[in-house]
Structures are given as C-alpha cells and as structure tokens.
Structure 1
Amino acid sequence: MIRVGFLLGFPVEYKGGINYIKNLLYAIHKFHSKEIEIYLFVPSDLEEEYITLFKDYAKIIHTKIIQRKTFPWLISKVSQKFFNFDPLTYRLLKKYKINVISHSNYVFPGDSIKTINWIPDFQYLHYPKLWTHKQLKLEHRLHKEWILKSDRIVVSSFDALKDLVSVYPKDESKVSVLHFVSQPDILKYDEPIDISQYVKGKYFYLPNQFWEHKNHLIVFKAVKELKKKGLDVKVLTSGLMNDFRSKNQHVEMLRKYVEDHQLTENVSFLGLIPYKDVLQLIKEAVAVINPSFFEGWSSTVEESKSIGKSIILSNINVHQEQDPSNAFYFDPTDKIELASIMEDLWLNADQMNLQNRKEQLLINLDNRTRAFADDYKAIIDQLLPS
C-alpha cells in the first residue's frame, strides 16, 4: 500500500483549490483505495465543514505546522526560506510513513519521499500587467523551484503544458497532464435545493471569482445591449468579491458599471455562497457563462459538463480542449456576439432540458472520474515502480 500525503496549506477561501483536492481524493478513493492510502494534513483549527468534506476519502491529520500564524508554522516557513529544509514537516511525514507528498507546494530534499506539485496555470505569462512586480517575481521563483526540485509536475491541460515548455523546455519529461473532473453531488439528490432566496424566474449564471481576467464586464455589456433591444435578461454572479491584485478596484468598477447603466435589476451579486447552492443554480440556469480571458482548466466548465448544462464560453484554447457537448463559443471581446447567443438561449429556454437523462449523466461522470483516477495512479506508478 502506497501512502500519499496532501498538505492543505492554502486558505479555504480558495474554493477552486478546495474542490480540486476533494475531487482528486474522491477519485483516488473510489477507484484505487486498495493501492493508495491517502493522508490529508490539515490546520488544527480547520472548520468542521471541511473535515466533513474530506473525511470519507482520507485519513485526516490535524497539525499546527500548516496553521497560519502559529509558532510551528512560523518555524516551518523560516526553515524553508533560510535553510531550504523544513524539519517539522519532514518529521511529520516520516511519522506517518508517507511515500509521496502531492499537490502541496512542497519540495522534499532527497529521494525517500517523492514529490508531486500542481501548477494550475501560467496566467502571468499572458497577462503580466495584472500582477505587481513583486507578485510576478514570486510566481516565477516558486514555479522554477517546484519544476527543478519536484519529482513530477502536474498541469491540468495541454494548453498549460505548452506554456510550461515555452519557459522550461528541458523539463517536459517530468510533466504530466491531469484533467480533473468535478463531482457535483447534486446529481444524486432526489429533492432539489431551494434557490428562491437568490432568484425568481429565468436566469443565466456566472459563478467565477472576481479577478480581472475573468471578464465579467463583457457579460454586463451584453446585458446592456439586450436591454436596449427590450429584452430584460437576468444574470446571477457568485464568488468571492475580492481581487487582491487590484486592491478591489476592479470589483468596485464592476459594481459601478451595473449601477451607472441601470442594470441593478438585471445583474445580481450573490457573493460567496454554499457550494451545494452553486450546483443547484447551475442546474436550473438557462445556461452557465464563463467569459474568461484565461483559465488553467475551468471548474465551471467541468461542473456544467457533469450536470449536462448548456454553457456559453469564451473561445480560448483551454475551453475548447475541455470540449463540453452543450457549449456555445464567442469572442471574449465581442459583446454583440455574446448578446446574440444569450438572446437565442433566453427566448428558447422553455424548450431546453438536460440533454441526457440523469442515469446517463452519472455513467458519463463515472467514466471520466475513472480516467482521472487512473491517470493519477499512473503518475504514482512512474515514481514508485513495483
């Protein structure tokens, strides 16, 4: 039995990361629990809702080493920075006889514990102006260190692989593409979740974080165009309303645009809402919209794909690589093209249902999840051949 450890050291507000880890652990547990034993190391003060999220798929180990602003956490960080070695984490992993440490932003000196690190995307190569000089320098340094010192690097798309190779061409042999799959439990629910607190009637749904590259503005401009034609569509947005790179100036700009153009009845900002509600909103929407200029591998697309929901997508490479069957593509700078797609879907919404029955969706999801788990197991087998 191979013991694989994960350090849950990032803020829980990073919902994309939380869901990614949950989906990966679920897939491993479902299809390879006889070969891989999962240990999830979490902060000592992690809320119970997250323990509940993971406990069926991993052995949960609480530790202050990754609990921010504790003394062990500080010692760990100082040791890594100045000595390039973290004795506290080393002892922790050795105590539980971990063979591989995965997706943890951690590099291990020596060969006794193999390391797999995940780089979601290389956005800063395409949109450096969205980053400060300090942030860019940090991203470059971290990625360089992981790529140099990890036994295996995982990226979520061939598009991201192309970016990595453009900067680190000599390291392609240690990189694996691992397409993640979202597990929307809503497919298993017999009773729908009540979303009347959020909306009445038809709506489009845009469940993205409020970073500038997510391109919410083009959707609001399309809504304005439709309103000029006399069509009052409704768009719900959800996600953490925080863009640290612009010190939230971008978020305020979006709010102001909606107010200045009298779109407050057409656009709703729900903020951060429970994940189960996100899935229900996806399921009942006319269509989901992802207008992003850049993605690593969109969880919004994966969730919509798993649920069988129509989705309106910017025509970027990675969206086309994800290839959802119910997709409508548009130029992310063209509000008229987007408005036309939205108009057609809105006017024909009453005729639209999920294209597949629930049973077929579950079969499709199971097949995709097995491929996800098998691809991860193949990476483990390469690192630890029997």
Structure 2
Amino acid sequence: MSHRRFRLALGPMSEQWTGGLEYYRLLRAAFATLPEPERPVTGLISWDDAGDARRVGDLADELIVIPAGSSGLSLGRRALNRAGRSGLPVRAVSTTEKALRDWGADALFGTQVFPDAGPVPFVGWIPDFQYAHVPEAYSPEGAARVHDSSAAIALSADVLVMSSEAVKADLARLFPEAAAKARVVRFVSPMPDGIYDRDPAWVCDEYHLSDRFFYTPNQFWAHKNHHRVLEALQMEPAREAGVIVACSGNAHDSRNPTFFGELLAAIARAGMRDRLVMLGYVPRAHVLPLMRQSIALLQPSRFEGWNTGIEEAKSLGKSVLASDLPVHLEQDPPGGVYFRVDDPHDLSERLAAVWARGRSGPDNELEAHARASLSQRMQSFARVFLDAAREAASLARRR
C-alpha cells in the first residue's frame, strides 16, 4: 500500500514581495532534502493559471487553479434550493473550497485569510511585527492596515508560524488571545550548487573594491541603520584602522522614497565614499561571492524578524558582526560578534577589532562546518514546519 504524502496548499504570492517569494523557495528547498515519503506535495493557489504556470518548479510542485473572479461564490444552488424545500440544512461550498478539496489539500499556508476556504486547516504566517517596532516607517493608515491584517491572520489561523522567539513574544504582547497558536519555525538558507568552486576574489575587480571589506546586503531602508554605520566609520577606531564597508540592496522604499538619496548625500558630505561603498542593486548570483570574499557580514539593523543575511552567512560559512537585537542573538552565528545597536562608538570599536584580526576570502574552517551541517539544518526546518502544518490539520479535524 502506497504512503499518501501530505498535501500543502500555498496562498498566492505577489511578484512584488520578494521576501514572500523567497520564503516559498526556502520551504521548497528544505522539503527537497527530506526522504520521498516525508516530502509534501505543494500546490500554489492561482487565479491566473497561464501567468502562474512558470512558477511550478520554482515555488511549488503544482497549481491549484481557482476560476478568476469566482472566489467566494457559492456552488450547488440546486442543492440549496432542494434543501430549502425539504427543510434539510446544506452548507454552501465556495469555488475556493471546492478547488482545495479537489486538489486534496491537508492544510493551507499563507499570509492572507481565506474566508471562503471552508474547513480547510489554515496555517498562518506573520513574518514579523515591524510596524510595532519602527512605526516611523509607516503612515498611521499604513500601520493600521498592517495591524488589521496581522490580527485577521492571528485570529483565523489554526496554527501560526513564527520565524523566531522574538516574533512569538511580539505576538503574545500584541495579540495575547492568539499566543497559544504560535509555533517557532526558524528558516534556513540553502546554498546553490557550485558556490565553493570559484575563488570569490573576482568580485573585487567586478565592483572596483579593495580585497578587504565588510559586506552589508540590506535593503536601503531607514531601520537597516546605514546612517549608524556612517557615524561609526567616522569615529577614531574604525577611521584609523581604514575599515571599508560595501553595501548592496534595493534602493527604493515606497514608504520613504528620499532615503537613499539622503544617505548618498550624507556619505559625500562626510568624504566617506571610498569607505562606505554603495554598490546599489547587485545580481542575486553576486551576493554570496561578495559575502564569501568579505572579512565578515555586517548586519547593523534596528529590527528584524529572522535575518536572511545572517542565515546565509551561517549556511555559507562566513563570520558575522551584528547589532545586539534579541533575534540576532537567537540566530547565534558561529563566532558572532555583537555591538550595541544604537551606539556608533561601540560599532566603530568592533569594526576595528574584527578588521584587525580578520582576513578576506574563504574561511576554510567555517565553510567546512557550514557544509557539514547544512543538510541536517534544512531537514530540521522542513520537519518542524510540517509538524506545525500537521498539527493544524489535526486541530481542524477535532473542530
């Protein structure tokens, strides 16, 4: 008798939300490390099967097609009419619920509530509560919208996936009635094939960089703390040591569209363009070689839910200098060094100390450890996630 694999439906994902798309890819990569009987079948909900067909094999195994414009419409009107005549109660079944049932969904995972999914178990995902930590990044209306969306997920889900204990603590503070639903599932970043095959020093020529630099691959958003790095580089420890920091990322933030230009102007005024080097947006295939060539990943952020850059450094085998956020301490990169998040002098001292003892290029010891542990870490991520999804299915059956 063949074993039936768990079938996980994934909510639709906007092309504009790179973080959400990447999470689906991380899940898919983690599931692929499991033995075949444990590996779930994933299906991406789609209202545009032609447009989403290219996502099969990238985000999910299959598509779950729901006719466009029909979400929430009831089916079986004849049955309802017959029930009305006979006095028998019959529950309407939406096209969304029917599509999920026909596909055989054991659970539905996503960041939006599907009120028309019927009794299909819902595993909600709230990546973080950034709006509560950096409210200045949001308009009052924007913060209210994000809060309401988080509340809807928290109250509707059978189980909630939290990326860290830090996010789980925020949930308990903001939505205490949903705290018991939280399950911490820490994602793990995979490494692409061949990442260790080539000496990464080529990035120095490609980007006109010194062979020694710290690397910060953050979006250019205010809470990522680039201005604090600029302050630190101007202070004596880092200035005298000659520390260089290279930064890459998306320069556009719709919430603060002038930020990147203001940062460039501040760097120019300080005469630090050769010390805080702005690479702008770089191809994804260049991010890991840049990290591998660097002395260390520098993660100065004032807020994170579970930082992708630190996870990539752990999986790659690169040392980390990070702000002392609880979530960064929870991520616990091997040999991690921390600075007080709002103290530029402390950061300057740490930069100078790591610069003095660190070396650029591959760290053979850290890379060997990372390579040896990555498969087990990814399998653990996959299994903990699936435990949460199966728990949601079990709870729903008992409703």
In the superposition, the TM-score normalised over structure 2's length comes to: 0.83
* Aligned residues: CA RMSD: 3.0
Equivalent residue number for residue 127 of structure 1: 134
Equivalent residue number for residue 249 of structure 2: 239
Aligned pair in 2 of structure 1 residues 187, 314: CA closer, same or farther (>3 Å)? farther
Aligned pair in 2 of structure 1 residues 63, 156: CA closer, same or farther (>3 Å)? same
Question: 2:13·2:20 contact (CA, 8 Å) conserved in 1?
Answer: no
Q: 1:219 Cα shift?
A: 0.8
Distance 1:77 1:131 in 2: 31
Matched, 1:252 2:261: yes
Matched, 1:346 2:348: no
Q: Give the alignment of 1:128-167 within 5 angstroms.
A: 128-167=135-174
Q: 1:170 Cα shift?
A: 2.1
Q: 1:251 Cα shift?
A: 1.8
Equivalent residue number for residue 269 of structure 1: 278
Aligned pair in 2 of structure 1 residues 168, 268: CA closer, same or farther (>3 Å)? same
Distance 1:279 1:161 in 2: 29
Post-superposition Cα deviations, 1:234-253, rounded to whole Å, max 9, x if no partner, equal 2211111112222x122222
Matched, 1:219 2:222: no
Equivalent residue number for residue 37 of structure 2: 34
SS at match of 1:183: coil
Equivalent residue number for residue 11 of structure 1: 15
Q: Give the alignment of 1:363-374 within 5 angstroms.
A: 363-374=372-383
Q: 1:339 Cα shift?
A: 1.3
Equivalent residue number for residue 68 of structure 1: none
Aligned pair in 2 of structure 1 residues 209, 47: CA closer, same or farther (>3 Å)? farther
Give aligned-pair identity as a percent.
Answer: 26
The AA in structure 1 aligned to 2:149 is L
Matched residues, number: 368
SS at match of 2:306: coil
Equivalent residue in structure 2 for 1:203, among 201, 213, 219: 213
The AA in structure 1 aligned to 2:11 is L
Distance 1:355 1:287 in 2: 14
Post-superposition Cα deviations, 1:275-303, rounded to whole Å, max 9, x if no partner, equal 22111111110111111111100011111
Aligned pair in 2 of structure 1 residues 90, 111: CA closer, same or farther (>3 Å)? closer
SS at match of 1:344: helix
Deviates more, 1:195-204 or 1:221-230: 221-230
Distance 1:353 1:130 in 2: 36
Distance 1:180 1:123 in 2: 18
Distance 2:245 2:71 in 1: 45
SS at match of 1:153: strand
Matched, 1:326 2:360: no
Question: 2:294·2:360 contact (CA, 8 Å) conserved in 1?
Answer: no
The AA in structure 1 aligned to 2:248 is S
Deviates more, 1:36-45 or 1:273-282: 36-45
Q: 1:310 Cα shift?
A: 1.2
Equivalent residue in structure 2 for 1:96, among 93, 103, 124: 103
Equivalent residue in structure 2 for 1:176, among 180, 183, 186: 183
SS at match of 2:337: strand
Q: Gaps (5+ residues) in structure 2?
A: 75-91
Question: 2:294·2:361 contact (CA, 8 Å) conserved in 1?
Answer: no
Distance 1:353 1:347 in 2: 17
SS at match of 1:31: coil
Question: 1:213·1:292 contact (CA, 8 Å) conserved in 2?
Answer: yes
SS at match of 2:286: helix
Deviates more, 1:149-158 or 1:35-44: 35-44
Larger Rg: 2
Aligned pair in 2 of structure 1 residues 110, 41: CA closer, same or farther (>3 Å)? closer
Q: Gaps (5+ residues) in structure 1?
A: 66-71, 80-84
The AA in structure 2 aligned to 1:346 is W
Distance 1:363 1:206 in 2: 25
Matched, 1:59 2:61: yes
Distance 2:118 2:64 in 1: 25
Q: 1:213 Cα shift?
A: 1.0
Post-superposition Cα deviations, 1:149-202, rounded to whole Å, max 9, x if no partner, equal 111111111111111111221222211111111112266542346423124321
Equivalent residue number for residue 361 of structure 1: 370
Equivalent residue number for residue 290 of structure 2: 281
Q: 1:357 Cα shift?
A: 5.6
Q: 1:260 Cα shift?
A: 0.9
Q: 1:221 Cα shift?
A: 1.4
Aligned pair in 2 of structure 1 residues 137, 351: CA closer, same or farther (>3 Å)? closer
Q: 1:306 Cα shift?
A: 1.2
SS at match of 2:10: strand
The AA in structure 1 aligned to 2:127 is P
Equivalent residue number for residue 302 of structure 2: 293
Aligned pair in 2 of structure 1 residues 63, 262: CA closer, same or farther (>3 Å)? farther
SS at match of 1:243: coil
